[in-house]
Copies of this chain bind each other. A is one copy, B any other.
Amino acid sequence: MEEAPTAFEGSPTPTRRPTSAAAEEILGGYFPVLDHGFVALVDYMGDDASVERAARVSYGYGTRKVSMTRGLLRYLRRHLHTTPSEMVELCFHCSMPIFVARQWVRHRTASVNEYSGRYSLMPLLFYNPRREHFALQSGSSNQGRATGDADAELYAEAVRRWEAVRSQVAADYGWLAGENVARELARIDLPLSTYTQWYWKIDLHNLLHFLTLRVDEHAQWEIQEYGRVIAAMVKRVAPISYEAWIDYQVMGDRLSRGELRALARLVAADEGGVAARPDARLSDGDLGGLGLSKREIRELKAKLAPRDVPDFELDVSQMRSPERAAEDALAAVPGAGGGQSGP
């Protein structure tokens, strides 16, 4: 993709539907994720104004419509009045390792059509973690991966083992396919690192919920990578909703009854503002007395610490054509070209 990206999804046709110029720019363009994966936005419906229109139907006749779009959309998101954002829909074509697909598909409010290893031969593309993402098990309990990469020698040995087993698996799969063994059986020893692909359609409300969980540092790093690309696509379809999501969900947080009680002992609100109470201090013991467990105390402190605001942006120079994405997959299919007919 050296030159400027062009109309991947057919030639422009006039429509009277809400249209986003920023989304049209990347529509049908394939963005690489991990070593062999991709995400492409292949269709969308609605924009920020569609969310507003749906919300406005509730505030109908006999109400003054003083609010601007941004104020209304931020109000809705802050209070989790999410039904209006269901009016926007996005459809993606994605390819990811099966272990990522298994986490992804737990979100049940989307429509999915996946590549079938029963009908079709699988492209033999496997995910190889890079050195800097190869890490030890985290010592704390609710995080899978420790920060900081693992030993170089350890990594080299892991790569050697991955390569050995995948080479064997690929040979076996090719042999079974060559012997015309049922594909649904031939594929049972493909590893979870094998790439699959699907069309995935979801409304904006459920997508932002998905993204909140999947761009979070507790998600497995590999699925975070997909979340970041999709978030950047959302920004092009519905930029005001995206900004509200960053401010209220990604960068916001939940406080418990105990945490709010603790803060109310340290901070007082008055007519003109909010102020620290003089000399107010709660030790860890005091916090425990307010009902916070040790883990909750750690969590409260983390909520008060500064965090970087993420800015999800696509690298348009990486965008590839659908044909190019298809060729890469096809080239990895054993003995590509043969096979049975679909219905």
Residues of B within 8 A of A220 (CB): 118, 184
Point out which of A17, A44, A179 has the most chain B C-beta atoms below 10 A from its C-beta: A17
Taking the closest CB of chain B, its distance from the CB of A318, in whole angstroms, is 19
A99→B150 contact, CB < 8 A = no
CB distance from A77 to the nearest CB of B (A): 9
Q: Contacts A12-B14, A162-B189 known; list 5 others, CB within 8 Å.
A: A13-B14, A13-B16, A17-B44, A108-B109, A269-B300
Which among A60, A106, A340 has the greatest number of chain B C-beta atoms within 10 A? A60
**A324 interfacial by beta-carbon distance below 8 Å:** no
Q: Is the CB of B28 within 8 A of A16?
A: yes
Answer whether A275 and B281 are a contact pair too, CB < 8 Å, given A99-B187, A342-B64: yes
Alpha-carbon distance A259/B309, docked complex (angstroms):
14
B18 touches A43 (CB 8 A): yes
Chain B residues with Cβ below 8 Å from A158 are 176, 181
Q: Is the CB of A284 within 8 A of B273?
A: yes
A62 to B183, CA, bound (A): 11
* Chain A, interface SS category: mixed
Map CB proximity to B onto A129-160 as digits: 1 under 8 Å, 0 otherwise: 10000111111011011100010001000100
**Chain A to chain B contacts (Cβ below 8 Å), 7 pairs:** A54-B199, A60-B119, A63-B119, A75-B295, A138-B182, A145-B185, A274-B287
Residue A57 is within 8 A (CB to CB) of chain B in the complex = yes
Neighbour of A78 across the interface among B15, B251, B256, B281, CB < 8 A: B256
Q: Can you name the residue of chain B whose Cβ is closest to the Cβ of A100?
A: B188
Whether B181 and A161, one on each chain, are in contact in the complex, defined by CB atoms closer than 8 angstroms, is no
Q: Does A280 contact B (CB under 8 A)?
A: yes
* Contact for A91 among B87, B111, B250, B258, CB less than 8 A: B87
B269 and A260 within 8 A (CB) = no
A165 CB → nearest B CB, Å:
5
Q: How far is the CB of A218 from chain B (nearest CB, A)?
A: 9
Q: Is the CB of B58 within 8 A of A119?
A: yes
Whether B291 contacts A282 by the Cβ 8 Å rule is no
A279→B254 CA distance, assembly (Å)? 26
CA of A115 to CA of B287, assembled, Å: 34
Smallest Cβ-Cβ distance to A136: which chain B residue: B180
Q: Judge whether B63 and A120 touch: CB under 8 Å.
A: yes
A321 within 8 A of B: no
Q: How far is the CB of A226 from chain B (nearest CB, A)?
A: 15
Separation in Å of the A277 CB from the closest CB of chain B?
5
Q: Which residues of B contact A112 (CB under 8 A)?
A: 83, 106
Contacts of A232 in B (CB 8 A): none
A16 CB → nearest B CB, Å: 4
Q: For A300, what are the chain B residues with a Cβ–Cβ distance below 8 Å?
A: 269, 274
Q: Are A303 and B17 in contact (CB under 8 A)?
A: no
Decide if A118 touches B102 in the complex (CB within 8 Å): no
Q: How near does chain B come to A216, taking the closest CB pair, in angstroms? A: 10
Residues on B with C-beta less than 8 A from A180 are 136-137
Question: Contacts A113-B87, A144-B119, A193-B188; is A257 near B267 (CB within 8 Å)?
Answer: no
